[in-house]
Structure 1
């Protein structure tokens, strides 16, 4: 069964992009296929897609040997557009209406699971933080963000983009920018460039309790990143806490490695 061009699907469902939903659609089939290939072989894998929009990325995933695709969408217009693919999916597609931030992806799909998504700009970081806390339950994540956000995910200590997100990512996944996507590739073009990030969970994960404490420490440290740590961490013990774990109280947040943040979290 031949599929209509994505622009026809968009017109048929009145799927003009909405800024409130952070929507920017990719319509180039070759580019969408490249993004899916970043995930590697998908045979036997259950793929989760968040925010399918008109279904372009969904089509590219269906073209692989993925066992099943679960597409989660909050926009009723996009739900209708993506649901058109049910007729050609051979039972491999399930469209879920709802907010991905309020859905436990582990409860609606079986392992092995991979997330492949062009995330909405206004909620992508919040989704990623949640999934990093659940990293052990995913085989991989292939996610598109604004390029600056992608840089924040993989940033190393001492670099301008290093912060709370980079610490959390470093402790839970092996991350890399797999490809850049120019603004002109989207409809409508956003004001910024984008990037596809490939995240592979570490075999051994920190406990949820430890990640929570790391979050507490990094929130305080990076919340006042211009201060020395003895000042930014004053509410958590300041110099006494730092001296207990052998970290110079006059250092600043961006100089600490993820492992040093773990030491501070363990000492709380």
Structure 2
């Protein structure tokens, strides 16, 4: 769901919520302040906002004085944002899909985003695997996705997204929001998650292989690693990589997955065609 903060009802009224974009605008003032404060606490020289919607959050971010790039797919939102902020020399508008559109190269970003549910995972995966420089990210997700990001081994929420995110960043849930925090009210709860990059995060090359390892290992959650890797790697190779082939993927902690990925990348590169 795309949900952006706005405290002025007239601004909400100017942008018609569209089901196709899953738009629900945030009206919880405390949550708005929390998101803005988290983003501006970063020393990054640039701001990147994904899904700015009516732009009141944009206005608060621009008040900090740093250049801001805003990415939105909704033509009506683009028109409203252009009308409101085109005269601001720090405002840069990008119309397109945040999953795939090119982003300006340069220094690190502080990223803010309310991610649509059907695109949240690919947008996050892009931010984590494509070398887009960021110092901090404050991102809104449906609560179920936030729980997956912060899932712990042995739980239903824990999976590939948990491992990738936790190896790349330190995660903190900043706020949990009910449907009443938005207009119109969605049918689900939401949460804002703060990402701060880890100094010991895997390299970009390792992250791409890590995802391949995880998707294969979690392909059938109720099956053992030996069954999920059958036909690709023998159990002996999994054992040498530090993976007990008799276990299910969901019980292994992120550091084990990173060590295994590094071993497999070195000793079995043929399994991961470039």
What's the TM-score, normalizing by structure 1?
Answer: 0.88
Kept in 2: contact 1:45–1:112 (CA 8 A): yes
> What residue in structure 1 maps to residue 271 of structure 2?
none
1:222 and 1:78 mapped to 2: Cα distance?
A: 38
Partner of 2:45: 45
Tell me the equivalent position of 1:100.
Answer: 98
Larger mean Cα displacement after TM superposition, 65-74 or 97-106 = 97-106
Structure 2 distance, partners of 1:66, 1:45, is 10
Say if 1:207 and 1:236 are closer, same or farther in 2 by CA, change over 3 A: farther
**Post-superposition offset of 1:57:** 1.7
User: Does 2:130 correspond to 1:128?
Assistant: no
In structure 2, stretches of 5+ residues that fail to align are: 1-5, 269-274
1:158 aligns with 2:121: no
**Aligned partner of residue 126 in structure 1, secondary structure:** helix
Counterpart-to-counterpart distance in 1, 2:56 and 2:234: 51
**TM superposition shift of 1:248:** 2.1
| Cα deviation digits, residues 126-155 of structure 1 (max 9, x gap) | 100110114671101100000110111121
Alignment of 1:8-157 (within 5 A): 8-12=10-14, 15-41=15-41, 45-63=45-63, 65-86=64-85, 90-107=88-105, 110-134=106-130, 137-157=133-153
Gaps of 5+ in 1: none
1:7 aligns with 2:9: yes
Aligned residues: 259
For residue 99 of structure 2, give the secondary structure of its aligned residue in structure 1. helix
CA root-mean-square deviation: 2.2
Bigger fraction of residues in helix: 1
Correspondence 1:137-216 to 2 at 5 A? 137-216=133-212
SS in 2 for 1:166: helix
SS in 1 for 2:52: coil
Is 1:217 matched up with 2:213?
yes
- Partners of 2:247 and 2:43 in 1: CA distance: 48
Distance verdict in 2 for CA 1:136–1:48, change over 3 Å: closer
